[in-house]
């Protein structure tokens, strides 16, 4: 499909991709639209409508082949390759991110981890050595980083974002509540579990 996806469709396809990735890890070979809808909190009719827009993937009464559908959605979302990611902040959250398989499962390779604490620089976290945050811009250029993750204290977030932008990073995932100022061609995604909880609570109470 040549035209750009709407935000709603892109968001739902990303959710379906997460469900399919986990289904494959759990050894499932097929999955129904009803099962996808339950895991995604989306109406099953909407699931079928989203997927039918891009082709005929499933069989009535059989469901969708997990591997096939996963590959198809990766192609639609252009996420089939490996994308280099830089993590800023090697504290508890940063360490959890590095040692988790979540990013790797979805085609994101953590290329570097940075911190400003002299006591942490040179330590090993996962398979990586923590680097001096003063070198973020230079290293991001060298490694071809396209995504950055901020797992730093709020007061350090803008500085860290500036370093990532200077290194050519175009997408930043912000795990702080700091409102970041970046150039127009850089996209910020703020990750806030409280927002998800409030959203879920609203629909529970109304």
* Whether CATH 3.40.50.720 fits 83-193: yes
Helix/strand/coil percentages in the chain, nearest 5 = 45, 20, 35
Domain residue extents for the chain: 7-77, 83-193
Return the pLDDT at 10.
Answer: 85
Find tokens 């709407």 and name the residue: 6
Half-sphere exposure at residue 58, Cβ-oriented, CA atoms within 13 angstroms: 21
In CATH, the number for domain 7-77 is: 1.10.10.10
Return the pLDDT at 104.
Answer: 77
Q: How many other β-carbons are positioned within 10 Å of the β-carbon of residue 31?
A: 21
Return the pLDDT at 98.
Answer: 92
Q: E strand or H helix at 141, and its extent?
A: helix 136-143
| φ, ψ (nearest 5 deg) of residue 67 | -60, -45
pLDDT mean values, one per 10 residues, the chain (206 residues)? 71 88 89 91 89 68 84 80 88 92 79 96 95 98 95 96 97 94 94 70 69
Return the pLDDT at 2.
Answer: 44
Residues in contact with 195: Cβ distance below 8 Å, sequence separation at least 6, in sequence order: none
Return the pLDDT at 1.
Answer: 42
């Amino acid at each position: 499909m040549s035209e750009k996806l709407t935000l709603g469709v892109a968001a739902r396809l990303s959710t379906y991709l997460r469900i399919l990735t986990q289904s494959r890890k759990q050894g499932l070979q097929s999955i129904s639209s009803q099962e996808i809808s339950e895991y995604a909190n989306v109406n099953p009719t909407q699931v079928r409508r989203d997927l039918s827009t891009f082709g005929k993937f499933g069989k009535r009464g059989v469901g969708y082949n997990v591997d096939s559908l996963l590959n198809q959605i990766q192609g639609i979302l252009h996420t089939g390759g490996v994308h280099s990611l830089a993590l800023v902040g090697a504290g508890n959250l940063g360490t959890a991110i590095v040692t988790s398989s979540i990013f790797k499962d979805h085609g994101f390779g953590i290329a570097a981890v940075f911190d400003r604490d002299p006591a942490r620089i040179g330590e090993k976290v996962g398979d990586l050595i923590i680097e001096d945050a003063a070198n973020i811009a230079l290293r991001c250029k060298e490694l071809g980083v396209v995504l950055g993750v901020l797992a730093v204290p709020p007061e350090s977030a803008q500085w860290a974002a500036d370093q990532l932008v200077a290194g050519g990073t175009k997408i930043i995932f912000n795990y702080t509540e700091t409102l970041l100022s970046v150039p127009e061609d850089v996209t910020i995604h703020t990750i806030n579990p409280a927002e998800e909880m409030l959203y879920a609570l609203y629909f529970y109470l109304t």
